[in-house]
Amino acid sequence: MKSKRILVALIAAVMAFSLCACNSGLALYVNVKAGESYKYQVKMEQTMDMEQSGQKITTDQNMVFDFVVTVNEVDSEGNITADYKYDALKIDMSSNGSTQSFDSKNVNSDDPMSAIYNSFIGKGFTAKMTKYGEIKEISGIDNLLNSVVDSVDFGEAEGAQALKEQMKESLKQSFGDESIKSAVQSAVIFPDKGNIKAGDTWTVEDSVKSFVDINVTTTYTLDKIEGDTAYISVKADLKTDSSNSADYMGMDMTADFSGTVTGNIKVNIKNGFLSEGQITQEISGKMSLVIPAMEGIESQTIELPVDYKTTITYTTTRM
């Protein structure tokens, strides 16, 4: 579940990439120069309700990410190579009376979860994309995953190495090359045309590859332009395919989720960058986990009804 929450935050972070304006209408595309760096601060407030064995478990989580994108190269056609790295992370989580906090600027060396979260800082991946956000290549994911897994103390007990490899394979479903590629691309892909005017809409259909595949249909609308600011609204429907199963930490899992995303972003049309924005995601459904049989215990299936509500706000700053 933690890898899933981190992916959600990652998607929110890369949603805050850049836009550019030109001509009498608004042309939407990634507009950056080699050597430039941008910091996106993403704040996420999430409430998750899960029912297990007839008991409702409520988890509240607040996360703040500082996420840095450094542009390495822009070729003659506008194709971009950029490094995405975590710069800071703060988490406050409470669940049925228990609390947990982490701040990468004040790490508690005695807390094993702090080591896991802190392993993301200064690390990330490299993306090659077109100026319209189509991802051509992702690299560096293996190094990120190895760092996360190596930060966990699995001990010397029998089966520890197998558990380590199992965790790595599970993380690959949320953080593998294809997962990150689809997450970044679904967040930033724009229409390859100019003269976008107030009232115009465009729709992006994609499958985000995570621990389960999520089919997403997103509609963007340029609501208005006032002064140097363009106002864009975002609406999306998402649904998982419950007929497909995935391995999750050694358990066979299926997910039947559906939900919506709504939000608004503001774009400075002089410099072409998102100045601020907010999106709200509401998801409901259930997960089914098949726990393998062990000595003296038969295999069993656990169904977990889950409801999420997540509000994400973000700002961008030129470094």
List, for residues 53-68, the tens digit of each pLDDT value.
778 888 898 888 888 8
pLDDT interval class at 14 (50, 70, 90): very low
Going along the chain, which residue ranges are E strands?
Answer: 37-52, 55-74, 80-95, 98-103, 124-129, 135-139, 201-209, 213-226, 229-240, 245-248, 251-268, 273-291, 300-318
| Structural domain boundaries, residue 99 | 2-318
Percent of the chain surpassing pLDDT 90: 6
Mean local confidence (pLDDT), 58-82? 87
Q: Which CA distances in Å does 23 have to 47, 194, 197, 200?
A: 43, 8, 11, 16
Domain of 234, CATH number, reads: 2.30.230
Note the pLDDT of residue 35. Answer: 93
In this structure, are residues 35 and 71 in contact, taking their beta carbons and an 8 Å threshold? yes
Could you tell me the two tokens for 201? 């809409």
Greater confidence (210 vs 3) lies with 210
Check pLDDT > 70 for residue 95. yes
Mean local confidence (pLDDT), 25-29? 51
Note the pLDDT of residue 18. Answer: 28
Could you tell me the two tokens for 288? 């089914």
Check pLDDT > 80 for residue 124. yes
Could you tell me the two tokens for 74? 């822009």
The total of structural domains in the chain comes to 1
Q: Minimum mean pLDDT among 9-18, 51-60, 112-121: which range?
A: 9-18
Instruction: Return the SS3 of 57.
Output: strand
In this structure, are residues 246 and 214 in contact, taking their beta carbons and an 8 Å threshold? no
Q: How far apart are the first and last CA of the chain?
A: 33
Predicted structure pTM score = 0.72
Note the pLDDT of residue 142. Answer: 80
Mean local confidence (pLDDT), 245-256? 76
Check pLDDT > 90 for residue 138. no
pLDDT interval class at 176 (50, 70, 90): low
